[in-house]
Structure 1
Amino acid sequence: MPDTARETRQACPECGTEIRGDSRFAVWCAACDWNVDPQEPQPDRGPLDRAERALARRHGERLLAEMLGGQALRPRRDASAVTATVLALIVHGVTLALAVGGVWCVVAGWGGVGVLPGLVLLILFWALAPRVRRLPDDRPVLLRADAPELFALVDEVGQSVGTRSVHAIAVDGSINASVMTYGVRGRRLLVLGMPLWEVLTPEERIALLGHELAHYANGDTRNGLVVGTAVRTLALWHHTLQPLPDPTALELAVNALYVLPRLLVRGLLVLLVRLTSRAGTRAEYLADRLAARTASTQAAVGLMDRLLITNSLAVLLRSEANRAALGGSRSAREAKARADELWGLLAAYTASVPEHEYERQRRAGARRGHQVDATHPPTHLRRACLLAGEPLAAQVVPLDHRNEGIAAELAAARTEVARRLLRDGLVD
């Protein structure tokens, strides 16, 4: 069993105020913020790093002011988004040029001389072309026939945010949720992290679904066909150009040839990610607004609070995995009982997290500010934006019979994911 709450009392070393805390969490002072963020500060990597942080902070503050201004903000293509699209098209152009050049060399032939370089270009095209995602085979995947009640809820949420629904739902052990496309026809996949799903109320689950589907409704470029595949293509190129391990003399020469192309690809990849991050942070705020309109402001704010404690939830899950490993082999019945028990432990732990820990996380987030490589705005700012406007009522409400049906449809996946978490201890 996880450690139980135990109240602690001590005087603040900075201001002397009495601190009442919980032994499971960092002890901090609400009066002077002593120890509010025990995490090590980011190291200073020089003038360029400081300039990037300052730029991220200015952009974040400007975007926050727009969101708090109460305007009816819509997605827009700014200079960064347009540049990212152009860069993505160039990446795809390079890939296409390999294919065209290869076909041209093979067809032209030049007395057989062009066949070999043509085949080399075609092989490079095949190796470096963007891969179409497939449905995952390493986790439970539900189709409409498997989970009609869950898909009915997702359909209703999609209609509320103004987009079409998904074609498949994958369930895994991450404390997260996401949407992506798969297949040549661009079908939609919703990935539900069971640990996050289990600690949310039915209303907060609707807010989670609303937020994820809203990324399609608000034109998030990161989920688009052009930019999204370009990022994956560059990542594949960078992986392909990694130095060969334990090289021979010939492989050392190959590694040397790889240096400049690898640096160029890495630079393009970083640039593309940075260009889309601005539009991405705007998309997150807009997705939060649609989530609040769908599930209510209260439910969306509750979701934000749960996201503040994901690190604590991950620690608990790893601790339970270690405990299970020390327990040795078990019968199938015992393993299933232990897996089902895991979700009860997680829910009980979440319910026991005190408000002062949520407040500490908010204040710590405020100190850390906007991160250069962050794909989301700071959670405490997302929460503040939701609370700034008029409270919204829910357009989609949970129904008892539907909740029961969804629980039954997820039961097998729920057990399978818990077994994997206890066996592997891998939490994202």
Structure 2
Amino acid sequence: METVRQSAGATQAPEVRPCPECGTEVTVRASYVTWCAACDWNVDPGAPDPERGRLAKVRRRLAARHGEQLAEEIERGAGGAGRGGPDRSTVLAFGLALLVHGVTVGLFLAAVVLIIGGWHTGIQPVLGVLLLVAVVVLLPRPGRAPSGPVVLHRADAPGLFGLIDEVGAAVGTPGVHAVVVDASFNAWVSAYGYRGRRVMCLGLGLWEILTPQERVALLGHELGHFANGDIRSSFLMNGALRSLAEWHAVLGTVNRGILVDWFLNALTFLPRWTVYGMIRLLDGLTMRASQRAEYLADTGSARAGSSGAALTLLDRPLVGDAVEAHLRRESMAAARAGGGSGGREVREAAERELWERLAARIDSVPESEYERLRRVSARRGHSVDDTHPPTHLRRRCLASADPQPALVVCDDSRARAVAAELAPARADVARRVIRDYAG
């Protein structure tokens, strides 16, 4: 694999031109934006990121505000991201979550009264059953058992699970019970079942473009969420947020262009905005703690994989669009070739070489393009999602901290052993990408 990466990265010497704004020499590379590092000319020629809805916009703004405050506290050494007891906002948030669940309990009691006490009326039991349906939808429930293209357990990949266990020990938490492998450009952890068993997802779109030490840093970040906690992912809080989201969807405006829609929208106006206000209040009360959890997870990333690996790991989301585009192109190219003679062989070759070709493609991205993307990220306030701190703030905090060596080293032999265990999963997911991604 390393030979493929090196040959793919070898390109002819780029052209050099003067910047039209300041005259500084700028490098021109095919397939990449030409820009000036001295004056930021043409650094961000694309359209701004689209807004993703009212709630997402508000959450993104809250994440940026709290992320900036915490970043400043961390850099001053004020302990803004340290472990500590729950603050007043957290206590209030849990109180509001209990109130939300209290409404669900109230609906259940009302349903029982309507069904039992009004059985002779005919209509009241029907209303009671409808309320019970609403209660079932709103009830907090544990996460589901892991599902995905490939689900690995300890016996399937002892080397991978051993690496996860070692990283967990480095950040102060046990490992996981299952690993989901899919094609996504993502990684996450969650708990499932009433026993709180742990699952980790490793998206090969991300995993395959990382160096072995960046993979350790990724595991450290994800397991850091278990080690440090996040009140938004707790059973009580997550259930309250989900219940409010369900109510918000049910009470949403109807716009079919008929008169009855106006009546329904007027009827649901106050409940809808009450629910929206409660969502915003819970977001405001929990966002700072959620941001703190992300910064702590980044600290776990640096502790496990080293500060250098944690920093370069944070650059990887900046090339997510390139990963998605490459996988789509590979799938479409295989689909076009599959119609001719030797189509099956072409498709099998595309499946076999998919992840190596992806890694080579991302390895060919020059450092100047990463620097441009970092500057665009800071301008736009890029974040992994609308609850994460902006990526440039996370990077700034890691860069300002004392450098940390890796507590867990993934050398070549260990990386090859883990890769061998993941080989069947890689082949299975590659087959799905080539066959399904274009659709």
TM-score, structure 2 as length reference: 0.84
Give 2:373's aligned residue: 361
Q: List per-residue Cα deviations over 1:120-154 (Å, max 9, x = no partner).
A: 32222123334443234442111222222211111
Give 2:207's aligned residue: 197
> Which of these residues, 92, 95, 99, is aligned with residue 104 of structure 2?
95
1:4-403 matches, within 5 Å, as: 7-41=14-48, 59-70=66-77, 73-76=81-84, 77-109=86-118, 115-242=125-252, 257-329=267-339, 334-369=346-381, 374-403=386-415
Structure 1 residues 372 and 396, CA gap change in structure 2 (3 angstroms): closer
Q: How far apart, in 2, do the equivalents of 1:340 and 1:239 lie?
A: 43
* Contact 1:5–1:24 (8 Å) recurs in 2: no
Higher alpha-carbon deviation: 328-337 or 378-387: 328-337
Structure 1 residues 256 and 408, CA gap change in structure 2 (3 angstroms): farther
**Count of residues paired in the alignment:** 423
Q: How far apart, in 2, do the equivalents of 1:51 and 1:342 lie?
A: 39
- What amino acid is the match of 1:155? D
Q: How far apart, in 2, do the equivalents of 1:120 and 1:50 lie?
A: 33
1:205 Cα deviation after fit = 0.6
CA RMSD of aligned residues (A): 3.5
Q: For residue 388 of structure 2, give the secondary structure of its aligned residue in structure 1.
A: coil
Give 1:413's aligned residue: 425
* Contact 1:231–1:269 (8 Å) recurs in 2: yes
Structure 1 residues 134 and 110, CA gap change in structure 2 (3 angstroms): closer
TM-score, structure 1 as length reference: 0.86
Q: Percent identity?
A: 49
1:29 Cα deviation after fit = 0.3
* Contact 1:70–1:389 (8 Å) recurs in 2: no
Q: For residue 189 of structure 2, give the secondary structure of its aligned residue in structure 1.
A: strand
Q: Is the aligned partner of 1:424 residue 2:432?
A: no
- What amino acid is the match of 1:88? A
1:327 Cα deviation after fit = 2.6
Q: For residue 233 of structure 1, give the secondary structure of its aligned residue in structure 2.
A: helix
Q: How far apart, in 2, do the equivalents of 1:293 and 1:43 lie?
A: 35
* Contact 2:107–2:132 (8 Å) recurs in 1: yes
1:287 Cα deviation after fit = 0.8
Q: List per-residue Cα deviations over 1:180-215 (Å, max 9, x = no partner).
A: 122233222111111111111111111101101111
Q: How far apart, in 2, do the equivalents of 1:234 and 1:258 lie?
A: 15
Q: How far apart, in 2, do the equivalents of 1:228 and 1:50 lie?
A: 20
Q: Which runs of 5+ in 1 are unaligned?
A: none
1:391 Cα deviation after fit = 1.5
* Contact 2:146–2:192 (8 Å) recurs in 1: no
1:248 Cα deviation after fit = 8.1
1:389 Cα deviation after fit = 2.4
Q: How far apart, in 1, do the equivalents of 2:263 and 2:333 lie?
A: 49
Q: How far apart, in 2, do the equivalents of 1:378 and 1:180 lie?
A: 22
Q: For residue 180 of structure 2, give the secondary structure of its aligned residue in structure 1.
A: strand
Q: How far apart, in 1, do the equivalents of 2:133 and 2:285 lie?
A: 31
